[in-house]
Structure 1
């Protein structure tokens, strides 16, 4: 049985109404939050450095190569 890799990053596609918190085209770290996911939200660390829940429609989750992800996670 193959384990599906977790996705830890997403690209912002829409920052309307959150221009100070999100930048379109920027890669953001995802924080696992099952309750948010159940409500159509994704929890990310925004420009303030804090984690907030936003609509999943604002982001496109991306699977990165393991070595790239490890470097990014080590720097945040």
Structure 2
């Protein structure tokens, strides 16, 4: 499981929150297009520009809490 933090929501004001942590789904095809597949709080995944996010390292216990919170 990988996580990112949103650092920009320009053009995505309704769907992305700056400083919010998102889980990502690895997707080689979209990565090649400079996009990232994120999972929102509803469990749905969406494509967004990867420049809007920074990768973060979380403790395993935090990852488990975030993924079970849905």
TM-score by length of 2: 0.85
RMSD: 1.7
In the alignment, does 2:50 pair up with 1:56? yes
Unaligned runs of 5+ in 2: none
1:1-76 to 2 correspondences below 5 Å: 8-46=2-40, 49-76=43-70
Structure whose CA Rg is larger: 1
CA offset digits 1:1-40 (Å, max 9, x no partner): xxxxx5x211111101100000111111111211111211
Residue 51 to residue 23, structure 1, CA distance change in 2 (3 Å): same
Number of residue equivalences: 70
Unaligned runs of 5+ in 1: 1-5
Instruction: Give the C-alpha shift of residue 67 in structure 1.
Output: 1.2
TM-score by length of 1: 0.79
Instruction: Give the C-alpha shift of residue 48 in structure 1.
Output: 6.2
Q: 2-side partners of 1:63 and 1:24: how far apart?
A: 17
